[in-house]
Chain A
């Protein structure tokens, strides 16, 4: 059973802080990882993808991948209230079908 695990939260951080969202996966064959942001009642929006071990930065977002530990994370710097949403982690093995985690709810309070 391929699983992607996320803490459902909510994770509450003050405005301007760094939010750290974590995801672990059970399938060692997973090769690519995606972070989606989903506002309540809306569809998932791609934030970042990462294939290689290490860090990948895009604006205020940094994705980190550690394949040895089967761990992927998303850091959001200078968090804003508009970042309040559910963040879905997804992993793909060899086919193009992702396995989604249950999502982490992030609340950024002013």
Chain B
């Protein structure tokens, strides 16, 4: 089973709202990722959690706040977003073995976010 689930599938929010995106995997993977993807562009890495600790933050604005409550769950808290933050937000997971390049990422279905 290589399933990563994400909720919600679609989200529309105003610039003053607070919302959260959720991601879950039960593959025993120890690395989890948040990506942002705009139309006709490749996925853009935002955050990486390794063994439930934040290991990479790609200079993402503080209006995006990640959280990893346990090894299976990853959240992305959203607050005071801008219309240009509208995109497909993808969660991925991998075994996360540091020092090996043989680490396949599996993506969830994504959350389509629209900021009004």
Interfacial residues, chain A to chain B (CB-CB below 8 A): 30-32, 34, 36, 41-46, 49, 51, 88, 90, 92-98, 100-103
Contacts and interface: CB of A to CB of B under 8 A. Distances in A.
Interface in B93-110: 94-110
Contacts of B102: 31-32, 49, 51
21 contacts: A30-B101, A34-B104, A36-B107, A41-B88, A42-B109, A42-B110, A43-B88, A43-B107, A43-B109, A44-B43, A46-B107, A49-B104, A90-B105, A94-B99, A94-B100, A96-B95, A96-B97, A96-B103, A97-B56, A100-B43, A102-B41
Interface in B67-116: 88, 90, 94-110, 112
Contacts of A96: 31, 94-98, 100-101, 103, 105
B48 interface: yes
Contacts of B41: 102
B42 interface: yes
B54 interface: no
Q: Is the interface of B mostly helix, strand, loop or mixed?
A: loop
Interface residues of B, number: 29
Interface of B: 2, 31, 40-43, 45, 48, 56, 88, 90, 94-110, 112
